[in-house]
Amino acid sequence: MELAHPSLTRTGWLRQRDTFDWLYAAALVVGAIVALVHYHEFMDVYDDLVLILHVPVLIFIGWYWKPFRPYLAAVAALSLCSIWLYQGDLQRAEQVFFLKYLISSQTAIMWMSALYFMATGAYWIGLLARSEFGDKTGSALVWIGTAMGTAGLFVRWFESYLLGPEIGHIPISNLYEVFVLFSLMTALLYLYYEQRYDTRRMGAFVMVVISAAVAFLLWYTFSRGAHEIQPLIPALQSYWMKVHVPTNFIGYGAFALAAMLGVAVLLAERGILAGRLPAVKVMEDVMYKAIAIGFAFFTIATILGALWAAEAWGTYWQWDPKETWALIVWLNYAAWLHMRLTKGLRGAVLAWWAVIGLLVTTFAFIGVNMFLSGLHSYGSL
């Protein structure tokens, strides 16, 4: 996630890779080849290209961030096990024990939700009681919950094709699916910084926003039946969705993480929980790096969205409410980074700004769909 690292500047960095590094890389290459061969009939040239490009990206992440490897292995194992248990019949979701109670898409996502709630409680116990056991338990629960949720999305993708080849699509097309995606992206970003800075004391705050997303997800599921897989509406039947939406939600997750650290900074500067939290400078550094990453990905997502709009509507920009608020979000974080990098601004002002920035981003994400009409009004509540 971080752009600079001492090991990346050394001559012969590839020579520093050990046997496990190369085995991990080989496993990803073989997995991609198997996926290309086995699922080629369901993939177009853009799907093939995205899959191929993901291989070096995932190899680099696993080499640079070692804990990512067992997570990815767990996701692969859970997903493949679920696919095998289905045996091409969606009705088995209610007949096979492990599918019904553990690794169908919906049950896996429900496990994710429960584990995230438990992780939030464990982190707060660890923070308030200065309990290392609580911190470690919270971290373990987040890792397991993230693996379950990621596997749940992959299995949901497979289930959509079991409903019919014409229905099958990547599961990032409605509020239910993107709230799962948001939770996973935010959790992964947090877990990276937890390991990078060797502190679990930020988890209590970051998991609050993830738990809030999960609470919305559960309400949306049980009140609207939103977990049911639906065919893609015509506006979303585009390869651009497959790259625009995930990129956007890396940005959203990073902004959410930064906002919750902003809350922690504000409390620490007022002497609340100050002795229990990491140093303010550490939290400010993570907040800055999260916003920098979020801004980069949000910028890419906005460009991809403009290209999608040009193909769908014949113009890159129409000042649609969603587009206008996306620009507001972009300008907000551009100004935040400018004030920090060129003016040296620190402390409560930037912390409050990060918190307010999340409110602006939330309105751009959900509020526009709820209160404003436009070309992007297909994701309303």
User: pLDDT by residue (tens digit) across 284-330?
Assistant: 999 999 999 999 999 999 999 999 888 888 888 888 888 899 999 99
Residue 371 lies in a domain: yes
For residue 317, the enclosing domain spans 237-381
Q: Across residues 198-225, what is the average pLDDT?
A: 94
Question: How confident is the prediction for the chain on average, in pLDDT?
Answer: 91
- The per-residue pLDDT for range 155-191, each reduced to its tens digit, is 999 999 999 888 989 999 888 999 999 999 999 999 9
* C-alpha–C-alpha distance, residues 336 and 292, integer Å: 10
- Report the number of distinct structural domains present in the chain: 1
**The pLDDT of residue 375:** 57
Q: Which amino acid is at 373?
A: S
Residue 379 is classified by DSSP as: G
Residue 332 lies in a domain: yes
Residue 103 lies in a domain: no
User: pLDDT > 90: what percent of the chain?
Assistant: 71
Residue 231 lies in a domain: no
Residue 53 lies in a domain: no
Q: Please name which of 261, 249, 330, 325 lies closest in space to residue 289, comparing C-alpha atoms.
A: 261
Residue 45 lies in a domain: no
Q: Across residues 223-228, what is the average pLDDT?
A: 85
- 376 has a pLDDT exceeding 70: no
Both tokens of 374, joined, read: 């436009």
- Which residues are within 8 A (CB) of 290 and not within 5 positions of it... i.e. 6 or more apart? 189, 193, 254, 255, 257, 258, 261
Residue 321 lies in a domain: yes
Residue 2 lies in a domain: no
This prediction's pTM: 0.93
Contact 163, 99 (CB under 8 A): no
